Chain A
Amino acid sequence: MSDYRLMRPQRDVGVSGYGSYIPMYRLPGAEIARVWSGGGRGPVKEKAVAGLDEDTVTIAIEAARNAVARAEIEPGELRAIWLGTESPPYAVKPSSTIVAEALGAAPYLLAADFEFACKAGTEAVQAAIGLVGSGMGDYALAIGADTAQGRPGDDLEYTAASGGSAFVIGPAENAVATLIASLSYATDTPDFWRRGYQPYPSHSGRFTGEPAYFHHTLAAASALMEELDMAAADFDYAVFHQPNVKFPMRAAGRLGFTPEQVRDGLLSNEIGNTYAGASLTGLSAILDRAEPGAIILLVSFGSGAGSDAFAWRVTERIESRRDKAPKVSDYIERRTEIDYASYARYRGKLQGS
């Protein structure tokens, strides 16, 4: 294996603008435990829950508006809008066209939805890097957003959350973070799936751990670091897919990262697992505070299974852009706690409603 594993576009690209959105409702893990276990706590403190009038499209629209505002471009400059999600409001009909119209970016652009469980968002980032990096267009918008559902009473219900982030990929000359290189890793590993017409996903229990999450995350991350000849200590920040708190912390430790490097991008204890939005929202939170020159490792994981790994270098432009839209912390602080009954209503779990 040598450097053909690494992916680098023909022209230098980066993140021109980034933005996130997290719904305001929070369901504490203790509330789920009260209903299903007679008490106790869950693997995360609480999770973000979409309201009655929210879905993946509305989450994507607000995140995208924030990203475009920070990119300081006209929406019409976008040549692609790709939305990665496992919870599109329509089974057939693109979500991305709705986002494009809402931004005022239509009609001269590509628009499609990507599906690869929790890495659909970074898959869209890779595609956007390819489009901009090849010179086909100057700007492309990649979004990861979900309103993930866990079966009532299942372990996943504690973490399956709503939220998303959007990234305008553009030329390095207009980047708040330039791309150093990326690398992708995919195998056929059925750790988690949802068949058509089923409201809730199924998973293969502990098989989702070592053979799925850890294998792909560690393989992608270590291959990227190896190809770039970089060690954990060369990065200022690292952000991983975060289905809970434990997994990304353990993966980081095995790769040699300290908890300090991971802390700013680890949000699952506050908002749960936002699936395709999870690792991207972690990156967004890091960009909200990173200094120019900081180097960031981003590694996603999607069941099924695969990981995308990226190395980014923050530019001076970040200082003038980050205040042009609400930060991840603004959304996390905007918090209204709900009980299980309201959650059941908001997320369509009441029969006959």
Chain B
Amino acid sequence: MDPKVVNDWRLRGQRYRLEGEVCDHCGESIFPPRDICPECKEPAKTPHTLSGRGEVYTFSTIYSAPEGFEAYTPYTVALIKLEEGPIVTAQLTDVAPTDVAIGMPVEMVTRRLRTHGDEGTIVYGYKFRPLHLGQAAD
């Protein structure tokens, strides 16, 4: 069994739907969950699912991938500043590297992150894409 199976399973709430926490003391949004508010240092265990909206803080297109991601090159990773405040590291998808810019509005989608070989599990998780379909929602 790939040791990642259990690890991936444990993180499904975070990976599939950006489940974080909110601090009941100061209102800070927290992702990933750390149970202690990074802002006011009080306990913060109230689950809170983030909206998935944000903007590109910085990005890099990877041409030389780590093992497990070779099939996807070139792909673009970014730091996404979510509208609630936290920054997450994630891939961008459905966008050409040349069309990415700092400040670009993005929204979360759930995509394949990788597979553990031909026989192992498929890992799904958050990625972000340009917010061109989001005009309809809210």
Contacts and interface: CB of A to CB of B under 8 A. Distances in A.
Interface residues of B, number: 24
B110 A61 contact: yes
Interface stretch (A26-34, A250-258, A319-327): A319-327
Contacts of A198: none
A260 interface: no
B71 A52 contact: yes
Contact of B136 (A52, A53, A58, A325): A325
B113 A102 contact: no
Nearest to A61: B110
B53 interface: no
| Main secondary structure on B side of the interface with A | mixed
A148 to B, nearest CB: 17
Nearest to A69: B137
B13 interface: yes
B111 A323 contact: no
A285 to B, nearest CB: 14
Contacts of B112: 52-55, 58
A101 B9 CA distance: 11
A90 B132 CA distance: 31
Given A51-B93, A103-B17, A90 B111 contact: no
A211 B72 CA distance: 43
A324 B124 contact: no
Nearest to A102: B16
Contacts of B17: 101-104
Q: How large is the interface on A (under 10, 10 to 19, 20 to 34, 35 or more residues)?
A: 20 to 34
Interface string A44-73: 000000011111011001100000010000
B110 A89 contact: no
Nearest to B94: A24
Contacts of B109: 58, 62
A102 B94 CA distance: 19
Interface string B55-76: 0000000000000000110000
Residue from the set A53, A69, A102 with the largest chain B CB neighbour count within 10 Å: A53
A63 B109 CA distance: 11
Contacts of B133: 326, 330-331, 334
A90 B120 CA distance: 10
Nearest to A345: B71
B122 A54 contact: no
Nearest to B136: A326
A53 B127 contact: yes
B52 to A, nearest CB: 10
Interface string B91-109: 1011000000000000001
Nearest to B134: A326
A332 to B, nearest CB: 12
Contacts of A54: 111-112
A353 interface: yes
Interface string A316-353: 00000001111100110010000000000000000001
B44 to A, nearest CB: 20
Nearest to B127: A53
B68 to A, nearest CB: 13
Nearest to A327: B136
B137 A62 contact: no
Contacts of B72: 52-53
A323 B49 contact: no
Interface of B: 12-13, 16-17, 19, 49, 71-72, 91, 93-94, 109-113, 122, 124, 127, 132-134, 136-137
28 contacts: A24-B94, A51-B94, A53-B91, A53-B111, A54-B111, A54-B112, A55-B122, A57-B124, A58-B109, A58-B112, A58-B124, A62-B110, A89-B122, A90-B122, A98-B16, A98-B124, A101-B12, A101-B16, A101-B17, A102-B110, A102-B124, A324-B137, A325-B136, A326-B133, A326-B134, A326-B136, A327-B136, A334-B132
